[in-house]
Structure 1
Amino acid sequence: MKFGILLTSVYDRGTPPERQRDEHAELVRTAEQAGFGLMVAGQHFLGAELRYFQPVPWLTYMAGQAPAMDVATGIVLLSMVNPVDMAEQISTLDVLTGGRTRFGVGLGYSPHEFDAFGVRKGERVARFEESLALIRRLWSGEKVTFQGRFTGVRDAQPAVQPVQAGGPPVWIGGQAAGAVKRAATKGDAWYTPPFPTHDELHEMRRLFLDTRAEAGLPAAMEFPVRRELLIADSREEAVEAALVRYRARYETYRRWGLKGQNTPVLESGERLRTDIDRRFILGTPEECAAELHKLGDELGMTHFVYKPHWPGLPHAEAMRQLDRFGSEVMPLLRD
C-alpha cells in the first residue's frame, strides 16, 4: 500500500497566494519525510470560495519540493479542456518528474464551469471519451490523423512525448455507475472520490472488476482510493471533529453542483452523525489503521489518498493530523 497527500484548496481569493503555495510545500515535504510516495492536485475553474491553482504547474513546483514522490492529477476536467494542450502538458510533467506521473481525469459537475467552456450537458461524456482517445493516440509516438466531433489533428507527430511508453497510467474518477464502467473500459484504474459510503464503495469496486472482466481486459494494476480520515484519541472525539469539517466542505460541493448517485445528502442531528460514520474513517490510530488495512485486504486498494486540509481550520491542525498519520498510523500498517 502506498500513501498519497491531496493538495486541496481551503482558501478563498482573499488569502495571499504565497501562503497557499508555502503551506502546500510544507505539506509535501513533511509527507515525503513520513514515507508518502504520491502527491495529488485537482482542477477547478473560476472558483471564488475555494482557489484551485492549475494542477500541472502546481505539481511541477511541488515535485521540486519533494522529488522522491510521484505526482497525479486528481482530477483534470477532461470534458472541458483541449486534449492537444493537455496531452503535451501531461507529457511535459512526465518528463520533469522522470516518468512518475499519473493522469487522473473526470467529467466534472459544476454548471458554471461547463457554461464557461461552452460544453452542453449532453456532450460531456462524448467530449471526455473523444479527448481521452486523442490523447492516447498523441502519446503513441506515431503519426496521428484523428477527426472527432469536437476536435481533430492531421498527420500530427508531436515531439513532446511522455517518458512512460504509451503515456502515464490513466486514473478515471467518478462515483456513479456509468463513471465506474467508463473507468473499467477506458482507463487503467478507477480513482474513487470520498463521497460514497463504505458499502457503496464495495459495490462499485465489484462493478469495476466485473465490467473489466466482461470486456476481456487484464486486471488493473492500481486502485487509488480517497476516504476522509480523522485521527483522535477516541472515536467519539473523531466524530465531533468530523462534524466541524463536514458541513463546511460538503455545502461547497453542493453549491458547485455536486449531486446524483452515491453523493452525500446533508443531514442534521443524529442522522448527520450516522452519515459521517458511513463515509469517514474515524478514531484512534489503531482504528484508522484497521480500516485502511481492510481496504487493502478486501478491495485491493494500492494507494490511499489522504486529505488533511479542511476549510475554516488552520494549517497547523492539518500538520498535526499529518504528523499523527505518519508517526502513528503508517507504522501499524507496515507491521
Structure 2
Amino acid sequence: MEFGILMGDQPVSSSPTQHLDLMLRKVEAAQRAGFTYLTLGQHFLYDGFRWLQPVPLLARLAAELDDHVRIGTTVLIGPVHHPVILAEELATLDIVTGGRLVVGIGTGYLPHEYETMGVPFGQRYRMLEEMIEVMTKLWSQDRVSHEGRFWRIDDLPTHVRPVQQPRPPIWLGAMRETGVRRAARHGDVWTITPQQTIGQVDALIRTYAAERTSRGLPLSPLPLRRELMIGADFDDAVSRFAAVARGKYEAYAGRGMTLLGDDEVRNFGDTVRDHVILGDAESCRQQIADIAAALPIGPLLVRPHWPGMDAEQTEAYLERVGREIVTPLRELQSRSFSDFLETSAA
C-alpha cells in the first residue's frame, strides 16, 4: 500500500513566507516518513485561508522530491481555466518533475469562483468533460483541431508535451453517482472523497467499474482520501481530531457543503466516526487493512495538517503516522478489482 498527503490551506494571519516554509518542511517530513504521493488542492479568493496556487508551488516543491515520489493536484478547479493555458502549464510541470505528475481535477463547489472568472457555474460539468478532451489532444498530438461547445482550435501546432504519454494520469474527483460515471468516462481513476462511508464507496465503485467496463477501459486501484488521527484510544483520537479539524468542518458547512450540516457539526464525534480513521495505532492499522481487504484502493491519502497547526505539529504527525501506519503497512495489498467485482454488493 502506498500513502500520500494532501497539502492545503493556512490562515491568512500567517505570513506567506511562513506558509511556504511550512510546505517545504511538510514535504521533507512526509518523504522521511515514507509517503510517496504529495498533492495540493486549489481555491481562489478564499475567505480567511490562503491557498497557494498549485502549479507554481508544485514546481518549487519538485526540487525537493526523492526519485520515487510523485507530486500532484488534488484537485484543480478545471473549468475556470482555459484548457490551452492549463494544458501547457501542466505539461511544463510534468517535465519539471521528470514525468511524476498526477493531474487531479474537478469542478469545485463555490459559485463565486466561477462568477469572478466569468465562467458559467451551471455549465461546469460539460466544460470539465470538454477541457479534458482538449488537454489530452494538446498533450498527445503534433497538431490539434477541436470544434466543441466551449472551445475551438483550428489545426494549430503543439509545442509543450508532457513526459508521460499520452497524458499524465488524470484523477477525477466526484461525490455522487453522476460524477463517478463522469470520472469513469473521462479520467484514469476516480479519487474517492473523504466524507463517504465504506458502504457508499462500495456501491459507487461498482457504478464506476460498470461504466469503465462497458467502454472497454482498464480498471486500476482508486486513490482513497481519508482523514486519520491516532490517539490513546478512540475517544482520545476523536478529541485530538476535533481540536484541529472542527473549525474546518464548520467552515465547510458555512460554505454549503451539504454533507456537513449544522447538526452534524454540533455532534462532531458522531459526524466523523463513519468516515475518519480513528483510534490507537493498532486499531487504525486494522481499519486500513479492513478497507484494503474490501475495496480496490490505493494510494491512501491523508491530511497531515489542518489550518492553524504549526510546522512542528505537522512534522510530529507525519513522523508518527510514518512509524505506526506507513511502515507497518508497506506490504499491505488491496483487493483486486476482479475479486471485488465477483462478489455481491455489501
Common fold by TM > 0.5: yes
Aligned twin of 1:291: 287
What are the Cα deviations for residues 132-163 of structure 1, in whole angstroms up to 9, with x where unaligned? Answer: 11001111123111122222211122110000
8 Å Cα contact 1:248/1:312 also seen in 2? no
- The residue aligned with 1:88 is 88
1:270 Cα offset (Å): 8.3
Report the RMSD for the aligned CA atoms in angstroms: 1.7
Which deviates further from its counterpart, 91-100 or 197-206?
197-206
* 1:289–1:330 contact (8 Å) kept in structure 2: no
Match of 2:271 in 1: 275
- Offset at residue 197 of structure 1 (A): 2.4
Offset of 1:110 from its aligned partner? 0.3
2:326 aligned with 1:330: yes
SS at match of 2:328: helix
- Residues 118 and 132 from structure 1, CA distance in 2 versus in 1: closer, same or farther, beyond 3 angstroms? same
State the distance in 2 between where 1:245 and 1:206 align: 34
Q: Contact 1:266–1:272 (CA<8 Å) still a contact in 2?
A: no
The structure-2 alpha-carbon separation of the partners of 1:299 and 1:315, relative to structure 1 and needing over 3 Å to count, comes to same
* Residues 98/85 of structure 1: CA separation in 2 closer, same or farther (3 Å cut): same
Moved more, 263-272 or 165-174: 263-272
Which residue in 2 is equivalent to 1:211?
211
- Aligned position for 1:18: 17
In the alignment, does 2:296 pair up with 1:300? yes
Alignment of 1:139-158 (within 5 A): 139-158=139-158
The one-letter code matched in structure 1 to 2:159 is A
Deviations 1:27-62 (A, max 9, x none): 111111121111101110011311111111111111
For the residue of structure 1 that corresponds to 2:44, the secondary structure is coil
- Whether 2:317 is the aligned partner of 1:318: answer no
Q: 2:312 is paired with a residue of what secondary structure?
A: helix
Letter in 2 for 1:317: Q
What's the offset of the Cα at 1:268? 5.5
Deviation at 1:294, TM superposition (A): 2.3
Letter in 1 for 2:197: T
CA distance in 2, matches of 1:119, 1:131: 13
Q: Does 1:250 align with 2:256?
A: no
Question: What whole-Å deviation, never above 9, does each CA across 1:283-327 have from its counterpart, x for those lacking one?
Answer: 111111112222222211120111111123333222221111011
Per the alignment, residue 236 of structure 2 pairs with: 237
Aligned to 1:111: 111
Q: Which runs of 5+ in 1 are unaligned?
A: none
- What are the residue-to-residue correspondences of 1:68-79 with 2, within 5 Å? 68=67, 69-79=69-79
Check whether the contact 2:10–2:49 (CA below 8 A) recurs between aligned residues. yes
- Cα distance, 1:269 vs structure 2: 8.5
Q: Give the structure 2 partner of residue 184 of structure 1.
A: 184
5 Å-filtered alignment, 1:223-234, equals: 223-234=222-233
TM-score of the pair, normalised by structure 2: 0.90
Query: Whole-Å Cα distance in 1 between the matches of residues 11 and 112 of structure 2?
Result: 19
Q: Deviations for 1:170-204, whole angstroms, at most 9, x for unmatched residues?
A: 10002121111111111100012212223222222
Would the alpha carbon gap of residues 268 and 192 (structure 1) be closer, same or farther in structure 2, given more than 3 Å must change? closer
Gaps of 5+ in 2: 332-346
Structure number with higher relative contact order (C-alpha < 8 Å, ≥ 6 residues apart): 2
Contact 1:111 1:256 in 2 (8 A): no
Q: Answer yes or no: is the 8 Å Cα contact 1:238–1:282 preserved in 2.
A: yes
Q: Do the aligned partners of residues 47 and 135 (structure 1) sit closer, same or farther apart at CA in structure 2, a change above 3 Å counting? A: same
Cα offset, 1:167, TM superposition: 1.1
User: How far apart are the structure 1 equivalents of 2:320 and 2:260?
Assistant: 27
Evaluate the alpha carbon distance shift between residue 169 and residue 222 of structure 1 in structure 2; reply closer, same or farther with a 3 A threshold. Answer: farther
Aligned residues: 330
Structure 1 residues 105 and 299: CA distance shift in structure 2, 3 A? same
Between the aligned partners of 1:257 and 1:271, the Cα distance in structure 2 is 18
Offset of 1:16 from its aligned partner?
Answer: 0.7
User: Is the 2:87–2:135 contact (alpha carbons within 8 Å) kept by the matching residues of 1?
Assistant: yes
Residue 116 of structure 1: CA displacement? 0.8
Aligned twin of 1:195: 195
Contact 1:79 / 1:108 at 8 angstroms: preserved in 2? Answer: no
Amino acid aligned to 2:272: I
Does the aligned pair in 2 maintain the 1:111–1:257 contact within 8 Å? no
TM-score normalised per structure 1: 0.93
Shift of the 11–269 alpha-carbon distance from structure 1 to 2, 3 Å rule, reads closer
Structure 1 residues 181, 197: CA separation in 2 closer, same or farther (over 3 Å shift)? Answer: same
- Percent identity over the alignment is 33
Whole-angstrom CA distance in 2 between matches of 1:257 and 1:133: 30
